[in-house]
Amino acid sequence: MCIFCKIIEKEIPSTILYEDDKVIAFKDVNPVAPVHFLVVPKQHIASLAEVEDADEGILGHILNVCSKVAKTFPECENGYRVINNCGENAGQTVHHIHFHVIGGVNMGEKLI
């Protein structure tokens, strides 16, 4: 079982910020910003590259949950960034699709 599936099953502890039958949001163990949490589907999908047409609904739900949880942090009032690392060239280290939400800092420098 992958590390995020273990978090979903509560075999590994995490600070859970939101959970429903389809997704879970929890704090990143190694935050890169004052706010840094991950939104993860309970269904094991390895990466964005493995998404199928039937997964469109869950992808929309994930972004909605990113927005809802970000609203609970005053640090995100002036904006935040949502990031998905897909595959080797993007540096994906956990092969269970996840969306990073980072905020609470002015990210000034932009790649795109």
Select from 12, 48, 59, 105 the one that contacts ligand 5GP (CB under 6 A).
12
Select from 44, 58, 82, 105 the one that contacts Zn ion (CB under 5 A).
44
2 near Zn ion (CB under 5 A): yes
Contact 19, 9 (CB under 8 A): no
Three-state DSSP state, 85: coil
Three-state DSSP state, 65: helix
Please report how many Cα atoms fall inside a 13 Å half-sphere around the Cα of residue 81, on the Cβ side. 16
Minimum distance from residue 32 beta carbon to ligand 5GP (Å): 7
User: First and final CA of the chain: distance in angstroms?
Assistant: 35
Encoded one letter per residue, x for contact with Zn ion by CB under 5 A and - for no contact, window 71-100 reads -------------------------x----
Catalytic residue among 36, 96, 98, 100: 98
Answer yes or no: 98 catalytic. yes
Candidates 23-31, 55-63, 66-74, 102-110 — which segment interacts with ligand 5GP by CB under 6 A? 23-31
Sign, CA torsion 49/11/60/91:
negative
